[in-house]
Structure 1
Amino acid sequence: MSQDVQGTVAEGFEGVREEFAAFLAGERDEPGAQLVAYHRGRRVVDLWAGDGLDGDSLTSLFSITKGAAHLVVALLVQDGVLDLDREVAFYWSEFGAEGKDRLTLRELISHQAGLVGVDGGFTTEELADDRVPAERLAGQKPLWEPGTAYGYHAFVIGALTGEVVRRVTGRSVQELYEERLRSPYDLDLYLGLPEELEPRWLPVLPLVPTPEQAERIAAAAAAPDALKGVAFNQHGPQPTDLVAFGNSRLVRALGSTSAGGVGNARGVARMYAAAISTVDGRPPLLTPATAAEFARVHARGTDLVTGETDHFGLGFERPVEQFPFLDPGVFGHSGATGSLGFADPASEVAYACTRRRFAPPSDHGPSAENGRLAQSVLRAAAGV
């Protein structure tokens, strides 16, 4: 691919362009990446590189979608529509089956329900439609005692929290996101990609691993019946292939709130900027208290699915656990290709890096390259 970096940076952010170019130069056959950052509500970095890719190109965002979905949830909590300490079954009576009656919304959103999958697994068609996993999970026996531990609900957390939203408001998360976030801020981040925008979407590309990378991937693979295998839907008759999932038109059209979002770095960064900063004259969406509550750790210890530590706030990941240079108040979410988006209320920086191809395996997680890139943005912001 052409490694030429395109786009612009504001004065003082020239070092970010250099770091982005260095990242691309170190990648083997990188097919495309975008990097965007906001500072105090102003876009200061807007870069991209890749054959056939530009700043407007759309890609499948996988779990970055969870950040968009839970920003909606945060707004509903802030508005008093949802109470984090109410039992989920208060809102959704069917959920109380199989000993789940005392689980609170706070515990659900922090991945403590023990419902990472269902017996027999899901089809792609089922995972694409949030209402189907929600219905099946309501009657599912949890895989650990709810509220006593946490584990990444990779493909289903959006369906679970989304059903609570639906029961209370009569609207889907996708509808509320469109009304309160995407349309008012003109975000290039969609929970349900309109068919007329399909020409802007670029397919996800698989990693073609080196022999060493292939060995590491094989070593990290979970047995289908292990918690990680269940969470990533490897235990059913149709084990989920992430590339095929991201490239499914049905998934893109329905906008599964766990992993079906489509967008670009401009859209992700602008969303997080709107959450914490004044954007286009509009005040921040979240109060400082709400942002802090959703960012702080709610379930301490080791994630039973991924093995990570103190990994989640409420719906959002805590990137500080992977990148200790970040402020503890940072909240966001990564995606399977190595993409990452986050908001830093302390510095008023919003960051997004998106990629078309799955990242090579790393000891520092799938989005390790974001460490150098995010540091360069924060250094520049501190100097402006």
Structure 2
Amino acid sequence: MQLDVLEQTFKKNFAERGELGASVSVWKDGEEILNLAQGWCEREQVKPWVAETMVPFYSATKALASATLLMLLDENGLTPEDLVCRVWPNFPNSSATFAELMSHQCGLAALDQKASVFEYDAVIAAIEAQEPNWELGDGHGYHPRTFGFLLEEPVRVLSGRPLGEVFHERIAELLELDLWIGLPESEFDRVATLYPGKMEKSDLESGFYKEFNQQGTLVRQAFSSPSGLQGVHEMNKPKAWQSGLPAMGGVGTASSLAKFYQAAIGAIPFFSEDVLGWMKTPVVTGDDRILMTPTRFSCGFQLDPLDADGAKVRQNYGKGMQAFGHPGAGGSHAFGDPETGVSFAYIMNQMDLSVLPGAKSSSLIEALR
């Protein structure tokens, strides 16, 4: 592992790739071996970005939320192979398992009924009334927004509490993680300001963005339902930080995000062997109906897809064949590798236009090998 090269690459992101403020953390075998922080919390350069700076990291939250549900399933004598309807009787597909739900196979990526992300009951009603976007067994497609509600309803049934509260009390506090799905007011002054990425011509020509920018497409609908928090400026408001949305509402530091993955790969003893297995074991792979590129999922986590010869199509999670994690829109990224005992997290406030890791985080992962 070339930590000096990683540090040079981190600085290069500021010099050549428009980085504003960012942190990167690397852990190995239960210990943090690198923690870098640089830049500014806002463009006006008022508050320096430090290791304790937090920022919303969008869909990287899905990993924290998935671990919470898997833990509760295990504690209640259930497995991912159990039917969702055992816990959620009104779930719209009575034959779907938790493994299928958590690997984006249930075709509930877009909702026909209008509902806001802040209207929990209305979103659950819309999910229960939804005709699936595709048939179960007919592939998979990333659920960018609905995924959090699909996890939260079983958590509420099993625990009687919102997912963010369970995550905080059962995982974050015990592991001493500075991660939140529902940020308390006492931490507001530590949150950096996010800035949106700019769309390049090459982005407009990609299959994903052609679908994303066209009204009425499934891709567009998936990224706009439930409604609310569509703009980056909305994510800079306390209402977003406090929302506790398990698909996109996480806020925290890079060090704690990387430490979470130490627990997820077993380098820090915490989760049961069954839960550790469910996190890393692939469930589905193939062309993603929403992201318009090959993807591979375990129960709530991403892995790099493989080609016909078993080689990685891309290396968002490094070289390790068992490495898994989850990116966040705009560039935040985190993962762990059970084979090497290494985990990694990167957060920033100058976003790229990407739903998968971009050049800034990819270059750091390259240096990590």
Q: Which runs of 5+ in 1 are unaligned?
A: 1-10, 380-384
Counterpart secondary structure, 1:63: helix
Question: After the TM superposition, which of the residue ranges 58-67 and 200-209 deviates more from structure 2?
Answer: 200-209
Superposed, 1:140-155 pairs within 5 Å as 140-155=130-145
Sort the Cα spacing of 1:218 and 1:177 in 2 relative to 1 into closer, same or farther, 3 A.
closer
The yes-or-no answer on 1:314 pairing with 2:304 is: no
Asked if the contact 1:128/1:250 (under 8 Å) is kept, the reply is no
Tell me the secondary structure at the aligned position of residue 291 of structure 1: helix
Measure how far apart 1:154 and its partner are. 0.3
Aligned to 1:382: none
The answer as to whether partners of 1:232 and 1:240 remain within 8 angstroms in 2 is no
The answer to whether the 8 A contact 2:17-2:360 is kept is no
Among 325, 329, 352, the alignment partner of 2:345 is 352
Alignment of 1:78-97 (within 5 A): 78-96=74-92
Deviation at 1:13, TM superposition (A): 2.7
Q: How does 1:166-245 map to 2 (within 5 A)?
A: 166-208=156-198, 219=210, 221-233=212-224, 241-245=230-234
Q: Distance in 2 between matches of 1:251 and 1:146?
A: 32
Match of 2:315 among 293, 308, 323: 323
Matching residue's letter, 2:28: H
Q: Secondary structure at the match of 2:221?
A: helix
Distance in 2 of aligned mates of 1:137 and 1:244: 27
Cα distance per residue 1:51-90 (max 9 Å; x no partner): 2311111111100110110111222344354321222122
Which of 265, 271, 284 does residue 260 from structure 2 map onto? 271
Identify the residue that residue 49 of structure 1 maps to in structure 2.
38
Distance 1:219 1:226, change over 3 A: closer
Does the CA-based 8 Å contact 1:131-1:163 persist in structure 2?
A: no
Q: Is the 2:23–2:38 contact (alpha carbons within 8 Å) kept by the matching residues of 1? A: yes
* Residue 240 (structure 1) shift: 5.4
> Is 1:62 matched with 2:58?
yes
Give the stretch that moved more between structures: 174-183 or 243-252: 243-252
- CA displacement at 1:178 relative to structure 2: 1.0
Q: Tell me how far apart the structure 1 counterparts of residues 38 and 166 of structure 2 sit (CA, whole Å).
A: 33
Equivalent residue, structure 2, for 1:294: 279
Question: How many angstroms apart in 2 are the aligned matches of 1:129 and 1:332?
Answer: 29
Determine if contact 2:324/2:337 at 8 Å carries over to the other structure.
yes
Q: Give the TM-score, by structure 2 length.
A: 0.87
2:271 aligned with 1:285: yes
Q: Are 1:303 and 2:284 counterparts?
A: no
Displacement of 1:206 = 1.5
Report the alpha carbon displacement of residue 374 of structure 1 after superposing the two structures with TM. 1.9
- SS of 2:90 mapped into structure 1: helix
Contact 2:140–2:289, Cα closer than 8 Å, also in 1: yes
Give the counterpart letter for 1:356 in structure 2.
N
Structure 1 residues 210, 151: CA separation in 2 closer, same or farther (over 3 Å shift)? closer
SS at match of 1:157: helix
Q: Which runs of 5+ in 2 are unaligned?
A: 41-47, 306-312
The CA deviation string for residues 279-332 of structure 1, in whole angstroms up to 9 with x for no partner, is 4xxx24242x54343223212321111122142111111146531742221121
Assess if the C-alpha contact under 8 Å between 1:62 and 1:246 holds in 2.
no
Paired position in structure 2 for 1:3:
none
* Counterpart amino acid of residue 285 in structure 1: F
User: What CA distance in whole angstroms lies between the structure 1 residues aligned with 2:108 and 2:323?
Assistant: 27
Q: Is the 8 A contact 2:266 2:276 kept in 1?
A: no
Which of 106, 113, 119 is equivalent to 2:106? 113
1:110 and 1:312 in contact (8 A); partners too: yes
Once the two structures are TM-superposed, the CA of residue 188 in structure 1 deviates from its matched residue by 1.3
Change (3 A) 1:90 1:292: closer
Preserved CA contact (<8 Å) 2:103 2:299: yes
